[in-house]
Structure 1
Amino acid sequence: MDDTLSRHESISTDGTSNDTPESWDGESHSDSSPSVDYEIKIHDASYPFVDSTIPPLPSSSSSATATAIMTAGSKRFRINYVASNNSGRSIGDDVTPKVEEIDGAEDLQSIKPLEAETPMATSTTAPTAAPVNVPRKRGRPRKHPLPVPGGQIKITKGRSKTGCITCRRRKKKCDETKPSCLNCQKNAVVCEGYPPKEIWKSGKQKMEDAARTKVLAAVPRSLPLLIDGVETEIDRRFLDHFVYGFSRVLTLINDDTNPFKEILLPMAAQHRGLMHSLMCLSGSHLSAFDPSPMLKERKFYHFHHAIQDLKDNIMSSSVKSSGASQEPELLVEDPIIASTIALSLNTICEGETKGEYRPHMDAARYLLVTQQPRNEKFRQFIVEFFQYHDVSNSITSLDRRPALRSDDLKLPDFVPQQAGMFVGVFDGLFNYISDVTRLRDRIRQRSNEGYEPAVDYQILSDAVSIDSAIRTWETSHPPDTPNWFLAQLYRQSTWVYLYRTIRPSKPSDKIAQVVDDGLAYLDQLPPDSGAFSIVLMPLFLLGCSAFLPRQRERIEKGFESLKAYSNLRNIEPAFKVVRRVWEVMDTKTEDSWDWEKIINDMNMDFLIT
């Protein structure tokens, strides 16, 4: 093909002709283009053969354009050719037109007409086109190019919910340092930590959890009490005070062999009523140091439960023993007897002076006389404890007399004297005190009946026998020990009790000497000695016999030391009685002999133990 030959072709399927087709090199055809005749045969294999001959192109002075419209079956084609004037050769000699299949008529409506090409498209499709100079925009050039339209959209990051509680409340960025963030430390605020992680759960899991929670809600969460009677934090405080504080002011023994810790406490752990009694006892003593309303309220709670449990046990035991056909059995168990003793001690801790101790002491007396405790070790403890308080009670009462001489209440034969937790019971000294109390009853009776002299020969003879026994009495405690000094104090006070009983109530050298000796033994006791736990009774007897002012000063100091050690609230009413006896001594000396009557006239009734 000659280089001078320029061919243009256009194929249109829209039924319209291309009147001014552009050349391939961007030039339009001239009017001097020669006319060329073509004969083209087209065959479509998919339709029946149709022999169509394109008619010769008409001649024109300016250009030659060939348009062929034919029908091959139902298909329609249109071909336009344009040849230049300078061509001397036939286009059909070396050009084979490309025939494309026209879409169906139903698809022709969806074809949009051609639009004018944009400058950018023209520059890309026409390599020979001149470049377009875009004017430079004013201002600083961009550091980064503008984002391409239709590019990746930047996703906005949501607020983090994993920061610490403090930063989230302050609406600050948290660095999420564990366990406390550095941002809080830098700003001098307290980091409250991080909320617990929530684990996502499906709807089914949530329903299962809700059902499980509903089932668990019906199950009681509370646990049974490990020890009945010890229920709250205050109760545990009562228990600690009983073990480490209160038990040591009740006996001579301060170590772990203290019977209140060794015998009563294990028994109370198995018996609710006894535990209530001990908690009430400890609470009464503790409330003297701490008068908190909560302590008092809890103390009364234990007192009422102890009384109710005591009544229930006695009633149930009475019903069991009422059957005539039944074998003889114990009325109550050992813890019930211990509860009566504990409740009588509670009156001492409370400082009650209206005879509140009487029903508890009477119940203990009845139970000990009518039955024997099962536990032999407990029997030794309870008999000694009861006899000590029973004999001491007779010193300040007109109608309370000891049951020590009763044949139904005997001490264990195997018990050694030094094994006692009190002074005077196992070693026999309290026998002499009981004898002196009976002499006082006989003298008082003769005086009230008008007999003269009130002390007859028989009373005097019995007093001489008691005096001889007191002089020969020896304690089993080693000499020069606190317990030995305490035993000597008891011996002196017993002789003072005898002398004040058979002799007129007036000052004398003998009574003054014995009182001074007793106070000397009192001064030998260490301030923290367990001997101070049972000093009140001998100190009371010495006080009722102190005629001299110097002796009264020492007696008063003794009461102060005793109160500082034990803080039992029966010490104050005891000293109040002693001061009243001193007043009677200074006015009506003879009336000071009967201090039991003075106490009764003061409308007071309490234990001096």
Structure 2
Amino acid sequence: MSAVQKRRLAFDGCLPCRRRKKRCDLRKPTCLGCERNVLICSWINAPSRETHSTHFGKKSFKSTIKVPDSSNAVVQCRQPSSVASCVLKSPLAFFLYQHWLERTGNTMSAQRGQLNSFITVLPRLALNYPDTILQSLLALSGVHYANRNPNAQVSVETWTRLGLTLRALKHGLTAHATPQKSIDPVPLLTTTLVLCFIETTRGDRGSNLLHHLEAARFLLGQLLSSSVLSLIEDDVVEFLKEFYVYVEGITTLTGPSTEDRTSLLPGAEFDSTYTIPQLSSKSPGNLLGCSQELFNIIPEVQMLAQRCQRQSTEALNPTGSTDTSVVVELDDEYQELHNRISTWLPPLSASPDFAACALMYQEAVLCHLETAFLPSSWSHSLIRSRLLHFISLLATLPVDSPISATLTWPLVGFGVLSMDHSHRETIYERLSNMWDHLRLKNIEVSMTFLRRLWMEDPVSLSDGVKTPCTLEVDLGSIMRKMSVDITFV
């Protein structure tokens, strides 16, 4: 090989080979080195630099992008990396990026304008980490677009981006689990959280979200304990913490118990004693509004509910014996926890929509706690009272309010409990309006679940107990009995 050819291999190679200071064989679209190392092969001078338009959008990249639906906010992005520029040269990729800024980013958040971290923080991270975060952002935008406007070309682009995301994530997680390597956890953590929302948006029925959530749990712990934490912008850290706490909180209330969850990350063991990070007043409220304190309590609620369930199972065992001290301890914990939740009030600075949504979450969490601890004959009247309050609060919240996108779990939870036809109609109508407005597939799946549940004979879901007041009301248990998996985030 001549000296000229060697120089050409060195200077005309793909970006990953340049960064790794390896010779590139110039094979396209994926060189041998990238294929062997499971890297995303990107080229700084390919495809053509010509700018042209298609019906999907312009091929050129603009570093300042106007966001029409965010009160004329303007997102000032950093100068994109070479890889990001190459990715966004694709007309379909640029179209999905624009769709994110105009529609998807606002659908995912309860905030608007500069307060919306899905528009201000996440695109900034995406342009800095194009191999992982940008690819996942484009995939999520594509899934969301397809829910409203099915399109074969967009679908191919979406699944291509998702495949690239998973390939890069697999490589990154494997490298992160290698003790000799030091890998930045920010792109891996952000990507796993975006993948959680991809599963939500496409109506995950295979518990795929749990796979991503376990990786996110490990990566967030690594990030918060790392020495580089102080070097990361505060808005990024708070955004990622709130993102994780929201997904973990809803999954904790409706998914399998932490004891049944196992780590899916190579080289990592699942730690059931892991403490979910506490949110501070700096939390942007993109997903929780003003409900941060309530979500900080959710892990305690679910742990107590699981202990109560185990105690009830042991009490029903004829050969078992009831430990009085355990019962007293559970009662004390219940009273203390119930008092903390019931006396909580939204901050005075909260907007009316945020306050109404927070109070609805308060009713839902209290209902979850009471049905787990109290005998069904006692909890029935409480359930009805909380349901009536929930319905009255729901009437005050416009369906197009950004925060209403987070109400899927409370709506389905109270839909399971409702025995009144008018209440069921109200809940179903709200879910239907949310589906029309937001186009998140998990809402449609939830509507199907409720229709099926309401058509079922209650006896088949209550272990033979016929009276409505003793109907099993644990949403997670009902879904497992009906062989249904719904992601409510």
TM-score (norm: length of structure 1):
0.58
Q: Which amino acid aligns with 1:599?
A: M
Shift of 1:384: 1.2
* 3-state SS, counterpart of residue 486 of structure 2: coil
Partner residue, 1:600: 480
Distance (Å, rounded) in 2 between the aligned partners of 1:380 and 1:293: 37
Distance (Å, rounded) in 2 between the aligned partners of 1:386 and 1:479: 22
Q: After the TM superposition, which residues 420-439 of structure 1 pair with which residues of structure 2 at under 5 Å, given as runs?
A: 420-423=285-288, 427-439=292-304
Partner residue, 2:186: 334
The answer as to 2:346 corresponding to 1:481 is: no
Distance (Å, rounded) in 2 between the aligned partners of 1:226 and 1:465: 51
Distance (Å, rounded) in 2 between the aligned partners of 1:302 and 1:477: 43
Q: Are the aligned partners of 2:383 and 2:417 in contact in 1 as well (CA < 8 Å)? A: yes
Shift of 1:220: 7.9
Distance (Å, rounded) in 2 between the aligned partners of 1:404 and 1:486: 32
* Higher relative contact order (Cα pairs below 8 Å, separated by 6+ residues): 2
Inter-CA distance 425–368: structure 2 relative to 1 (3 Å threshold): farther
Q: Deviations over 1:214-245 (max 9, x none)?
A: xxxxx988237662432422222211111111
* 3-state SS, counterpart of residue 525 of structure 1: coil
Shift of 1:578: 3.5
Q: Are the aligned partners of 2:287 and 2:403 in contact in 1 as well (CA < 8 Å)? A: no
Q: Are the aligned partners of 1:532 and 1:565 in contact in 2 as well (CA < 8 Å)? A: no
Q: Deviations over 1:393-432 (max 9, x none)?
A: 02222334799996765346xx416743233787321233
Farther off after superposition, 528-537 or 588-597: 588-597
Partner residue, 1:447: 312
Distance (Å, rounded) in 1 between the aligned partners of 2:148 and 2:449: 24
Distance (Å, rounded) in 2 between the aligned partners of 1:419 and 1:371: 19
2:99 to 220, 235, 241: 241
Q: After the TM superposition, which residues 464-479 of structure 1 pair with which residues of structure 2 at under 5 Å, given as runs?
A: 464-476=335-347, 478=349
Q: Are the aligned partners of 1:547 and 1:585 in contact in 2 as well (CA < 8 Å)? A: no
TM-score (norm: length of structure 2):
0.71
1:297 to 143, 156, 166: 156
Structure 1 stretches of at least 4 aligned residues deviating more than 6 Å after TM superposition = 401-405, 452-455
Partner residue, 2:277: 410
Inter-CA distance 595–488: structure 2 relative to 1 (3 Å threshold): closer
* 3-state SS, counterpart of residue 266 of structure 1: helix
Distance (Å, rounded) in 1 between the aligned partners of 2:380 and 2:168: 54
Q: After the TM superposition, which residues 170-249 of structure 1 pair with which residues of structure 2 at under 5 Å, given as runs?
A: 222-223=48-49, 227-249=85-107
Q: Which amino acid aligns with 1:513?
A: S
Inter-CA distance 289–584: structure 2 relative to 1 (3 Å threshold): same
Distance (Å, rounded) in 1 between the aligned partners of 2:348 and 2:110: 12
The answer as to 2:288 corresponding to 1:288 is: no
Distance (Å, rounded) in 1 between the aligned partners of 2:303 and 2:47: 62
Distance (Å, rounded) in 2 between the aligned partners of 1:404 and 1:567: 35
The answer as to 2:363 corresponding to 1:492 is: yes
Distance (Å, rounded) in 2 between the aligned partners of 1:584 and 1:447: 24
What is the aligned residue count? 382
Q: Deviations over 1:240-299 (max 9, x none)?
A: 111111111222102232111111101111222211100000000100011111111111
Inter-CA distance 573–423: structure 2 relative to 1 (3 Å threshold): same
Q: Are the aligned partners of 1:263 and 1:378 in contact in 2 as well (CA < 8 Å)? A: yes
Shift of 1:489: 1.2
Q: After the TM superposition, which residues 30-45 of structure 1 pair with which residues of structure 2 at under 5 Å, given as runs?
A: none
* 3-state SS, counterpart of residue 418 of structure 2: coil
Q: Are the aligned partners of 2:290 and 2:355 in contact in 1 as well (CA < 8 Å)? A: no
Q: Deviations over 1:431-484 (max 9, x none)?
A: 333222122211222233344789933323222212211221011254671111
Q: Are the aligned partners of 1:486 and 1:531 in contact in 2 as well (CA < 8 Å)? A: yes
Partner residue, 1:202: none
Inter-CA distance 477–283: structure 2 relative to 1 (3 Å threshold): farther
Inter-CA distance 407–437: structure 2 relative to 1 (3 Å threshold): closer
Distance (Å, rounded) in 1 between the aligned partners of 2:187 and 2:433: 34
Partner residue, 1:386: 244
Unmatched tracts of structure 2, length 5 or more: 1-44, 50-81, 262-269, 463-467
Distance (Å, rounded) in 2 between the aligned partners of 1:555 and 1:427: 25
* 3-state SS, counterpart of residue 354 of structure 1: coil
The answer as to 2:253 corresponding to 1:395 is: yes
Q: Are the aligned partners of 2:239 and 2:283 in contact in 1 as well (CA < 8 Å)? A: no
Distance (Å, rounded) in 1 between the aligned partners of 2:114 and 2:459: 47
Distance (Å, rounded) in 1 between the aligned partners of 2:165 and 2:333: 44
Q: Which has the larger radius of gyration?
A: 1
Q: After the TM superposition, which residues 525-564 of structure 1 pair with which residues of structure 2 at under 5 Å, given as runs?
A: 525-564=397-436
Q: Deviations over 1:50-94 (max 9, x none)?
A: xxxxxxxxxxxxxxxxxxxxxxxxxxxxxxxxxxxxxxxxxxxxx
Farther off after superposition, 532-541 or 457-466: 457-466
* 3-state SS, counterpart of residue 478 of structure 2: helix
Partner residue, 2:221: 369
Partner residue, 1:278: 137
Q: Which amino acid aligns with 2:413?
A: L
Q: Which amino acid aligns with 2:277?
A: K
Unmatched tracts of structure 1, length 5 or more: 1-218, 324-328
Distance (Å, rounded) in 2 between the aligned partners of 1:450 and 1:606: 31
Q: Are the aligned partners of 1:404 and 1:431 in contact in 2 as well (CA < 8 Å)? A: no
Inter-CA distance 479–340: structure 2 relative to 1 (3 Å threshold): closer
Distance (Å, rounded) in 2 between the aligned partners of 1:600 and 1:568: 22
